[in-house]
Structure 1
């Protein structure tokens, strides 16, 4: 069985041929402005615009924990906005990451990626500002994507940030 590939680099610049999806985790309150989303916004305005519109019109769509929005940013390139964290602050209810929501989002993403014949590229989703543990998220990525034959590359920044 194949496994997750780990490399040092920038997840916004996947260096493989063919269709690609850059997956990342968003919060459920419409906030976009810290962490990996800044790297996305520096490269393309569309994912942020689409996320904000999706949140604004949430009474009429599927915006919420576990939902996925694919935004095309290039000929064979999409960004997957996955709602996998509740709010943005660590508080009495713990860290913002919601493992069940990430699991649901990854399962939904698998179908979209398979349809496009794409590979998936991501930072260690849910582990930055969301406060999650990669030891809990990596098995979800493996189960939902890798076991379905989807190539997954996880990017670690050389500076340890991101």
Structure 2
């Protein structure tokens, strides 16, 4: 039995009280323009702006697979830009998702969420455009967040 709570709805509008972190997977090539990031950008400009600045300055910062950038967008809402995808296209090297990078980013996220006293909200990270399988991502979330007592809610959009 999973400790993850599943619900229908929009991960950009978590309806619980307290501090919330909306976690999602970004690519390592600086692209922001398809998938869940569009919903984020409709609500707040900061996650995209800070991701793009982080990518532009990558020669002198930690921008790489497995890295984490936490962006405050409202008093009680933060967005976690997690680099868990190599490029944006499926090709000869397979799908873009990198499970080990998602795991590393979740590992970096855990102490930050704990400091904030936050719950975590997300779509099925790494499983949309990144091409990942939820059966591989879910155990990473369980291991890195849920087992440590962090409340995680995964949002499935209303359509099937």
TM range (shorter): over 0.9
Whether 1:140 aligns to 2:126 is: no
Q: Equivalents in 2 of 1:2, 1:131: separation in Å?
A: 22
4+ runs deviating over 3 angstroms: none
- Residue 2 of structure 1 and its aligned partner are, at CA, apart by 7.1
Distance 1:57 1:116 in 2: 26
CA distance in 1, matches of 2:113, 2:145: 9
1:20 and 1:121 in contact (8 A); partners too: yes
Look up the match of 1:102: 102
Unaligned 5+ residue runs, structure 1? none
Structure 2 residue 6 is the aligned partner of structure 1 residue 9: no
Tell me the distance in 2 between the aligned counterparts of 1:57 and 1:149: 34
Matching of residues 34-113 of structure 1 within 5 Å: 34-113=34-113
Gaps of 5+ in 2: none
RMSD of the alignment, in Å? 1.0
1:145, 1:104 → 2: CA distance?
12
State the TM-score, normalizing by the size of structure 2: 0.98
Task: Give TM-score, length-normalised by structure 1.
Answer: 0.97
1:159 CA drift (Å): 1.5
| Distance (whole Å) between structure 1 residues aligned to residue 132 and residue 62 of structure 2 | 24
**Partner residue in 2 for 1:127:** 127
Distance 1:106 1:36, change over 3 A: same
Alpha-carbon displacement from aligned partner over 1:110-151 (angstroms, at most 9, x marks no partner): 011001000000000000000000000000000000001000
Measured in 2, the distance between the counterparts of 1:43 and 1:61 equals: 27
Distance in 2 separating the partners of 1:112 and 1:65:
18
Task: Check conservation: 1:2, 1:149, Cα contact below 8 A.
Answer: no
- The alignment of Structure 1 onto Structure 2 pairs a total of residues equal to 160
Write the distance in 2 (CA, Å) between the matches of 1:147 and 1:137: 15
Match of 2:73, SS state, is strand
